[in-house]
Amino acid sequence: MLLVLSISLALGLGSAQTPEPARQTAEQTLARIRERGDRAASQLFFELAAKRDAEAFANLREALEFVADESLAVAAFGAAALFKGSSLEQGVGDWLAKRTFKARLPAHQLGASSALAYFWSSHSAALERVLKNHPRADCRALALAPLVPGLVARGNRHACLLIFENAALENDSDRRVLLTALGTFKTSTVREALVRKLRSDSLSEVRKLVLLEYFRESDDAGVLKAIERRLGDPAEEVRLVAMEVLGRQQDGQALRRLNRAAAGANEEFIVRAISALASRREGASDWIGELYGFCHAQSTAVRLGAARALGHLPTQDALTLLHRLLRDRESSVQLAALEEIGAKRQLSSIPKLIGALADNGGLVQAEVALWLRLMTGQDHGTSSTRWRAWFEAEASNFQMPSLTVAEASENQRRQRQNAGGEMRTASFYGLRIQSNRVTFVLDVSGSMDDPAGGRGTSSRKRRSTRLDVAKTELRGALRQLLDGVQFNVITFASEAQASLPRLTKLNRKTRLKALAEIDTWRAGGGTAIYDALLRALEDSRTDTIYLLTDGEPTVGRVIDPAEIRLIIGKLCRKRDVRIHGVAIGRESQLLKNLARDSGGQYVEIL
């Protein structure tokens, strides 16, 4: 349909105009087409057909035999539309109808289908035969376009199914057009036919999605049963949309439906499914009860999704459940609950956050302290005792500052720290290490042997190489980290190598071993950033990565920065992993994006 339209608009076939007379003989034009074949200009075919007589038609047919390319075939066959309104209209249309089925080349079948659509007024029966019988979906879609108004006018089940089964669905615009057409059919027999289609497992994914959208607001029992069947669909997107559509049903079946839709699915799907439910159920009286069940589910992903869903509910019950999730056994759930609590900015949350400071360490504790600062404008570190004493003294008169004011105060605090401020904690190139489950990923490729143009916080020698400075920075970080922190170190050049098989607790023995191994590093090889990050993410306990590199990816399983960002970003979101990026010697858009996408920080050492 779009091909036909574009050719029509480009060449003015929708009007009564005809091209300018040919500037060369038909024999010369044929010779040029014969010589150039698929490289011939499409305008040459229109020049051959311009006279609109029998000789012109014969010349066009001969010229088409030299075309095999599909896009050129569609354009070249479009020249046949010049015969519409001429004495040859019937004969040309008949020839196109035959070529649609009998052309030897698939490209010619598509081109003939495209051109036949121009003859819809005289060859609607031929177009309908293409619609019903042609084996190629793209040919059927081209034949459908001019027939839609007539099929809609019929208004029966058969006409509706012809439109539904053959419409092109290449983009959102196509889907909207199809939904509009389906909406014009009002009979119960049409609805029943579409319900049967939705129940069919053989229906394509994109057409299932169209029907789910079509039936989105239906309360019919038969429709709902068909939608529920799609909860077991092989396609995750279909299951997700079915879950969302059914979410408006306030029948207490959300958890059962979720369990069915999520069978065998990954964590990201489960979280999306619950979030989809939440977007449809904000006002449902039973929804908070269902979320209570989600909060106590065995699956971490279900509990994580529940935390996100509770953020949609502006009720005290929802906030109470979020407070409970602060005590979840998985840090990813705790962090999600913390983010939703922070977004709600309620006074009743402050004592709960103070309690969470005492119950947690590492990244969770650091994030709790951050949200306490953002909600109060105060800074009492990570000491629950000091926070509790402050709150007991000030609670009766306390007024929560606006988020804008609190963020400005937090930015000033960070600037003081970056300038060598008051807090002495473990750091790597000036980035504070707050996690107790951290993996360092360092570039040891050949370019790291270049002189260090900038300095890390611990650099000593003016002529040190980039790798020398990186070694010094890592040694300092490992010495500053407290015993009990779980860590690993991964180096990468043309390949990625982990110092340890998994995250390991830092103690005197493991610290000395790691420091000794640093001394053995030598620069050389390519830059396999993707492989190194993937190796770090294989350990499900890692929640923070410090990535250092001085270049762009050059080797490995994936080297395209956009693709690396997409894949690694998805993995980080699934597991709530943060990446902090250190770019050496140059700006790195990849590191900047990875840090931004995962909620980490990015620094440049130039």
Give me the pLDDT at residue 22, please: 42
Residue 374 and residue 413: Cα distance in Å, rounded? Answer: 12
115 versus 22: the higher-pLDDT residue is 115
Bridge partners of residue 584, in order along the sequence? 605
- The tally of CA atoms less than 13 A away on the side-chain side of residue 539 is 24
Grade residue 228 by pLDDT with cuts at 50, 70 and 90.
Answer: confident
pLDDT, tens digit (0-9, with 9 covering 90-100), for 305-341: 788 778 877 889 889 999 999 999 888 788 889 988 9
* Pick from 1-15, 402-416, 478-492, 564-578: least confident: 1-15
Average pLDDT value over all residues in the chain: 85
| Among 34, 35, 32, 77, CA closest to 57 | 77
How much is the average pLDDT of 117-143? 92
Q: What's the whole-number mean pLDDT along residues 3-28?
A: 48
Q: Is the pLDDT of residue 9 over 90?
A: no
Please write the tens of the pLDDT for every residue from 382-395.
Answer: 899 999 999 999 88
- For 422-467, write each residue's pLDDT tens digit: 444 688 998 999 888 999 999 999 999 888 864 444 443 345 789 9
Provide the pLDDT for residue 153: 93
Tell me the residue type at 288: I
Bridge-based pairing of strands 544-549 and 578-584 is: parallel
Q: Where are the domains of the chain?
A: 2-152, 345-423, 427-605
Confidence of residue 15 (pLDDT cuts 50, 70, 90): very low
User: Do the bridges between strand 486-492 and strand 496-498 make them parallel or antiparallel, or are there none, so unpaired?
Assistant: antiparallel
Question: pLDDT-derived band of residue 4, with 50, 70 and 90 as boundaries?
Answer: very low
The pLDDT score that the predictor gives to residue 246 is 78
The answer for residues whose C-beta is within 8 angstroms of residue 502's C-beta and 6 or more apart is 488, 539, 541
Give the pLDDT mean for 482-509.
Answer: 90
Residue 163: per-residue pLDDT: 94
Q: What percent of the chain has pLDDT over 70?
A: 86
From the options 3.90.650.10, 3.40.47.10, 1.20.1730.10, 3.40.50.410, give the CATH code of 427-605: 3.40.50.410
Tokens of 511: 């610290």
